[in-house]
């Protein structure tokens, strides 16, 4: 309804601006982030769905229609919005593809080969109590650290990572800071390009985090979560049956899988005893046979099982991966593999052996009734054994369920890690594969995790197919089991405190006198005791005194109580991380709002209805127009064009799926710049200060659409200013600039030095120095492009659009060509084109980048055309001599003689210069050619390379012909060089390549000057008869008939087009009269006709 009202009534649109409706639409309905507490309370932004935002955009555009005041309001709000959004570094940016997974979890970016990290870090994160405790510990222990200490703290980086994984709205978190804090054995940040073992990463990470948590209330965090113990037992078999035990921490259990089919067999192999001979026994006082084994002692709430799939091959000394099938259950009872379980099993075996023995020999003589009673008694004993199974711990202590799987796919040399993890709260399974997170169905557990063999269709010939067994390279590597019901952790220090507390309660402190008498009594007893006991007592007293000196540690936390903790409440306690998360989410929301085709369509509609009157005034202030309010009032279209240009190339150019709207944007921008001269100047001045931006948009990007649009817009603006700034292109001015000390001696005279943004060399010292810079915007921009020529060889595959700007600029007029010539573009492009080995300007100190390869040679067509345009715009040595002679004798010459001495080649890019020639304003002028530039037209390598490329490129052939005609005009010496080049080329060419040389010859003999007859004579009847063109045609007519045929056809075409050449050839008719009979026999020769089309061609 509001849209209908605004569309038909201008006063309503004016009221929308006055009442603040326009601001309300932009601030609250469209561009609120909804991340602050105030936005959440008001449920902002109001328009979240695509349709509602489309309607809101339409209302804003309608409010601006014919109301410039409303556009001012909108433009200011949009300008502030654009300042908050950074230009993305990547191309084809689409924030909607980087949104948090629909499963509600955030992934981790793979920085190269960091999947082994990502897979295990996600396993840690998906333990709610562990991640909450780790975040809480990071908040408590790192809040007082400096920024430098936080960068090096692994605990801080883990806390920050888990905070982002909990509260971020992006698809994945960048782990670069964590990788920098995770040092290798040399103390340097881990190399993200090298893949490591996930089990080794687990061990190192746990050890380093535990080191940072020691002596804090979180010191038992890792031990309480997954830090059980194993006990190593040495059981004497010499008769005493004594057992020696040694307890050891168990962060991860490594299970052998070779020749084992399932988890049960691997656990049995894990606790299997090994017999050792000759072990000394203190009790037996001799060397006895001993059984060595390890069994589970203390079980944590979470157990990590490492499956030994990688083993060293001692024959090849290379690691190999085992892809054998290995099954594991969803639930498991670990009681049989614990210390008490093994004791129970052994007791049952001994009991069974005792019940058997000699009595079993008389079983046959027993009566049936007695046997029945014995069976009943055995059943009762079995029930009693089941009751004895969980005497140490309850049954729930040993019951575990599968909650996580780390998968490795690939081989020992190269592979990839990812995880399947069960959500501890919802029970749903998810796949965590770096940035990608999706659901996982347990029905695919066998296929994706167990490994083994698979059937693959295979065939070695075309006769038949058969099935072939192939290893499944995707299988489980680490298993994560959680206790079905978590148990609260128990700490030795807590037990001691409780015992001391109970002892203190049972025996209250005696009075002072009684205490003294007791002390005297104890002293007497101690004097009567053994000397050993006295020494032991003294040592115990010393240890007690040392323990009393240590500061009392804070009570340890119960990690299980943090299972349902409020993550945001924890993170808010460290403002630096919370503000970082909030700022990241807000920026990401703005990116989603702006890098959206719907938003760009809104901006396009906005500039279409915005006030943009024509403004062709040339006398515009040279200061920054964006800060001049009076300029904006005189030229209201300037801020519209500025905003549209920045949106187009800062945001739209880097957005994905932009082709249609981007082309429309560029087309409309060209239309706006056509009618606004100050905007054209602003654009070129702005671009001349943005080297990196210009470099990206015209050289380094792989987006052909952006390069085409940017170069077209730059050419269009330059063309608009070509007449306005024609007389100012070579003007310069002096400015004060800060120059790096190491660049002072390299300062050029043709433009400002662009500072190299390389911070690897540390801090640089700068000095202020007066430098010369171009004055007009066109020269500023072109000077920047000239500087980029140094890096253009690196981007040879896509520098066409870069040289397209130079090519179009050189065709705009004589002043533009003179600017390029004066900036040494002839020798710069010649050196660029010919390279180190062929260039006449080759510099041994300069590094020449190799461009192209055999498969993809670089395209130099525009470079060649620019060189030819600039050279033909300059005097040749002969025309320069004529011009100098004319200046000396013009007063004594009549009009006919003046025309003779002032005439130029037909391909010369001449121009009228009435300003410098007031006496003769109609005189055709050329630019003088410097001695340095003259080296290029005299370089034979230039023509050889151009001819080689002209065989396949018509534009290069045309440019070459213009250069040859211009440089050969009235120049007998250069004409002789061209004749030699043509005759040698014809002699060495085949039927296809000879056409190029004869095409050059056709233009060469058409030059109407004093040297024409000399050229014809040297080409057809030289001093050496075997070097003429006619001789080559006749000589090869038998062995190379296609060559002679193509040559004759080209010469006949020359005679048809060039009357002077036709008369010359008629006079030499006797030398080529043999053509008639030869052509008749050649055209009617017997050939194999493939089809009727070929036959028709032969008849024609």
Give 43-62 pLDDT, tens digit per residue: 889 898 999 999 999 999 98
Nearest to 605 by CA among 60, 1085, 19: 60
Using the predicted structure, report yes or no on whether residue 751 has a pLDDT greater than 50: no
Say what the pLDDT of residue 734 is: 85
What residues have CB less than 8 Å from 682, skipping those under 6 apart?
A: 625, 626, 638, 641, 642, 777
Contact indicator for 551, 216 with CB cutoff of 8 Å:
no
pLDDT (average), residues 810-822: 95
Say what the pLDDT of residue 747 is: 45
CA 328 to CA 339: how far, in whole Å? 22
- The larger pLDDT score, comparing residue 424 to residue 464, is at 424
Using the predicted structure, report yes or no on whether residue 750 has a pLDDT greater than 60: no
Give me the residues paired with residue 476 across strands.
407
Contact indicator for 523, 342 with CB cutoff of 8 Å:
no
Using the predicted structure, report yes or no on whether residue 714 has a pLDDT greater than 80: yes
Burial grade of 464 (CB within 10 A; 0-12, 13-18, 19 or more): exposed
Using the predicted structure, report yes or no on whether residue 723 has a pLDDT greater than 90: yes
Contact indicator for 999, 1050 with CB cutoff of 8 Å:
yes
Peptide bond into 45 cis (omega under 30): yes
Per the structure block, which two tokens stand in for 606? 């906005």
The average confidence (pLDDT) of the chain is: 85
Lowest mean pLDDT among 238-242, 487-491, 819-823: 238-242
**Whole-prediction pTM:** 0.81
For the chain, percent of residues with pLDDT exceeding 90: 58
Say what the pLDDT of residue 362 is: 45
Give per-residue pLDDT as tens, 524-557.
444 444 444 544 455 555 544 544 455 677 888 8
Say what the pLDDT of residue 918 is: 77
Per the structure block, which two tokens stand in for 389? 């199974």
Nearest to 326 by CA among 256, 251, 277: 256
Using the predicted structure, report yes or no on whether residue 9 has a pLDDT greater than 60: yes
Spell out the alpha helix ranges (H) of 969-1089: 972-988, 994-1004, 1012-1020, 1029-1035, 1041-1057, 1059-1067, 1075-1083
Q: How many CB atoms lie within 10 A of CB 303?
A: 22
Res. 625 pLDDT band, cuts 50 70 90: very low
Nearest to 754 by CA among 824, 687, 831: 687
Res. 261 pLDDT band, cuts 50 70 90: very high
CA 847 to CA 832: how far, in whole Å? 11
Say what the pLDDT of residue 268 is: 93
- The larger pLDDT score, comparing residue 10 to residue 102, is at 102
- The larger pLDDT score, comparing residue 982 to residue 279, is at 982
DSSP character for 761? G
Say what the pLDDT of residue 36 is: 82
- How many Å separate Cα 371 from the centre of its chain? 80
CA 974 to CA 964: how far, in whole Å? 9
pLDDT (average), residues 306-317: 86
Range ranked top by mean pLDDT from 280-289, 421-430, 504-513: 421-430
- The larger pLDDT score, comparing residue 464 to residue 1008, is at 1008
Nearest to 285 by CA among 242, 345, 323, 328: 242
Lowest mean pLDDT among 362-376, 390-404, 817-831, 1000-1014: 362-376
Per the structure block, which two tokens stand in for 198? 């996930």
Give the β-pairing of 331-333 and 429-433.
unpaired
Give per-residue pLDDT as tens, 575-584.
999 999 999 9
Lowest mean pLDDT among 96-110, 712-726, 840-854: 840-854
* Dihedral sign from CA coordinates of 1057, 1061, 1067, 1068: negative
Say what the pLDDT of residue 346 is: 86
Give per-residue pLDDT as tens, 674-696.
999 999 999 999 999 999 999 99
Lowest mean pLDDT among 315-324, 332-341, 941-950: 315-324
For the chain, percent of residues with pLDDT exceeding 70: 85
CA 818 to CA 874: how far, in whole Å? 9
Lowest mean pLDDT among 276-280, 290-294, 874-878, 1051-1055: 276-280
Coil, strand or helix: which one is 43? Answer: coil
């Amino acid at each position: 309804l509001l849209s209908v009202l605004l569309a038909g009534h201008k006063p309503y649109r004016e009221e929308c601006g006055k009442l603040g409706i326009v601001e309300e639409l932009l601030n609250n309905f469209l561009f609120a982030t909804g991340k602050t507490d105030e936005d959440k309370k008001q449920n902002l932004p109001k328009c979240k769905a695509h349709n509602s935002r489309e309607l809101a955009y339409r209302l804003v555009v309608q409010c601006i229609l014919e109301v410039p005041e409303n556009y001012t309001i909108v433009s200011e709000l949009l300008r502030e919005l654009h300042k908050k959004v950074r230009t993305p570094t990547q191309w084809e940016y689409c924030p909607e593809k980087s949104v948090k997974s629909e499963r509600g979890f955030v992934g981790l970016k793979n920085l190269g080969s960091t999947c082994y990290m990502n897979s295990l870090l996600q396993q840690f994160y998906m333990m709610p109590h562990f991640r909450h405790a780790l975040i809480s510990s990071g908040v408590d222990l790192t809040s007082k650290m400096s920024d430098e200490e936080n960068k090096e703290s692994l605990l801080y980086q883990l806390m920050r990572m888990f905070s982002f994984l909990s509260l971020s709205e992006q698809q994945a978190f960048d782990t670069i800071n964590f990788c920098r804090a995770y040092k290798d054995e040399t103390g340097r940040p881990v190399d993200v390009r090298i893949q490591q073992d996930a089990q080794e990463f687990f061990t190192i990470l746990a050890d380093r985090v535990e080191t940072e948590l020691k002596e804090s209330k979180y010191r038992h965090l890792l031990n309480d979560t997954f830090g059980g113990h194993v006990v190593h037992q040495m059981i004497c078999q010499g008769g005493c049956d004594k057992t020696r035990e040694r307890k050891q921490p168990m962060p991860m259990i490594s299970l052998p899988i070779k020749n084992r089919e399932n988890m049960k067999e691997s656990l049995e192999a894990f606790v299997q005893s090994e017999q050792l001979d000759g072990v000394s026994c203190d009790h037996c006082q001799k060397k006895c046979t001993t059984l060595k084994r390890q069994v589970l002692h203390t079980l944590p709430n979470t157990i990590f099982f490492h499956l030994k799939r990688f083993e060293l091959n001692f024959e090849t000394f290379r690691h190999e991966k085992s892809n054998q099938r290995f099954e594991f259950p969803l639930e498991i009872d670990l009681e049989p593999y614990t210390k008490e379980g093994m004791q129970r099993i052994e007791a049952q075996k001994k009991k069974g052996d005792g019940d058997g023995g000699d009595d079993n020999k008389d079983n046959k003589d027993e009566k049936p009734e007695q046997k029945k009673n014995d069976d009943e008694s055995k059943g009762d004993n079995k029930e009693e054994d089941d009751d004895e199974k969980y005497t140490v711990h309850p049954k729930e202590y040993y019951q575990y369920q599968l909650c996580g799987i780390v998968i490795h796919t690939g081989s020992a040399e190269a592979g990839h890690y990812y995880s399947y993890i069960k959500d501890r709260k919802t029970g749903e399974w998810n796949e965590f594969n770096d940035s990608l997170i999706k659901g996982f169905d347990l029905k695919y557990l066998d296929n994706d995790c167990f490994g083994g063999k698979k059937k693959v269709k295979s065939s070695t010939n075309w006769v038949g197919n058969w099935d072939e067994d192939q290893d499944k390279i995707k299988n489980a590597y680490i298993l994560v089991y959680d206790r079905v019901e978590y148990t609260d952790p128990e700490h030795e220090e807590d037990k001691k405190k409780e015992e001391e507390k109970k002892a203190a309660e049972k025996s209250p402190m005696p009075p002072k006198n009684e205490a003294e008498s007791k002390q005297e009594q104890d002293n007497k007893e101690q004097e009567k005791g053994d000397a050993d006991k006295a020494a032991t007592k003294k040592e115990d007293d010393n240890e007690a005194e040392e323990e009393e000196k240590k500061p009392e540690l804070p009570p340890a936390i119960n990690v299980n109580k943090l299972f349902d903790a409020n993550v945001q409440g924890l993170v808010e306690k460290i403002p630096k991380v919370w503000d970082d998360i909030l700022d990241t989410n807000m920026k990401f929301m703005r990116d989603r709002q702006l890098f959206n085709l719907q938003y760009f369509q809104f901006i396009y509609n906005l500039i279409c209805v915005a006030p943009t009157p024509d403004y062709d005034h040339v006398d515009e202030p040279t200061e920054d127009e964006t800060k001049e309010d009076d300029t904006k009032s005189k030229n209201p279209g300037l801020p519209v064009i500025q905003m549209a240009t920045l949106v187009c190339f800062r945001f739209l150019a880097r957005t994905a799926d932009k082709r249609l709207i981007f082309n429309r944007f560029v087309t409309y921008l060209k239309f706006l710049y056509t009618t606004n001269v100050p905007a054209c100047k602003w654009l070129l001045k702005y671009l001349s200060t943005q080297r990196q931006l210009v470099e990206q948009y015209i050289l380094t990007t792989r987006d052909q659409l952006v390069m085409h649009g940017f170069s077209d817009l730059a050419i269009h603006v330059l063309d608009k200013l070509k007449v306005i700034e024609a007389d100012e292109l070579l003007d310069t001015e002096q400015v004060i600039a800060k120059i790096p000390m190491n660049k002072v001696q390299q300062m050029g005279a043709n433009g400002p030095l662009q500072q190299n943004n390389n911070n690897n060399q540390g801090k640089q010292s700068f000095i202020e120095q007066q430098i010369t810079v171009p004055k007009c915007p066109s020269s500023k921009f072109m000077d920047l492009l000239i500087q980029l020529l140094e890096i253009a060889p690196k981007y040879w595959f896509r520098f066409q659009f870069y040289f397209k700007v130079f090519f179009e600029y050189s065709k705009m007029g004589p002043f533009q060509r003179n600017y390029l010539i004066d900036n040494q573009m002839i020798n710069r492009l010649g050196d660029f084109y010919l390279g180190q080995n062929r260039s006449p300007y080759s510099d041994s100190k300069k590094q020449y980048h190799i461009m192209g390869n055999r498969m993809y040679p670089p395209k130099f067509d525009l470079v060649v055309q620019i060189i030819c345009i600039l050279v033909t715009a300059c005097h040749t040595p002969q025309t320069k001599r004529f011009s100098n002679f004319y200046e000396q004798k013009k007063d004594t010459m009549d009009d006919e003689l003046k025309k003779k001495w002032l005439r130029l080649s037909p391909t010369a890019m001449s121009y009228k210069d009435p300003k410098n020639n007031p006496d003769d304003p109609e005189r055709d002028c050329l630019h003088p050619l410097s001695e340095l530039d003259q080296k290029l037209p005299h370089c034979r390598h230039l023509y050889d390379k151009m001819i080689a490329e002209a065989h396949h490129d018509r534009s290069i052939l045309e440019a070459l012909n213009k250069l040859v005609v211009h440089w050969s005009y009235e120049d007998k010496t250069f004409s002789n060089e061209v004749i030699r080049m043509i005759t040698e080329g014809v002699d060495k060419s085949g039927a296809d390549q000879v056409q190029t040389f004869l095409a050059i010859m056709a233009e060469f003999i058409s030059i109407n000057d004093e040297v024409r007859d000399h050229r014809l004579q040297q080409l057809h009847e030289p001093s050496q008869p075997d070097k003429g063109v006619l001789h080559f045609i006749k000589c090869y007519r038998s062995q190379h008939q296609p060559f002679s045929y193509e040559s004759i056809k080209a010469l006949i075409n020359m005679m048809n087009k060039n009357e002077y050449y036709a008369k010359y050839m008629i006079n030499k008719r006797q030398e080529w009269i043999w053509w008639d009979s030869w052509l008749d026999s050649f055209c009617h020769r017997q050939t194999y006709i493939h089809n009727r089309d070929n036959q028709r061609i032969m008849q024609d």
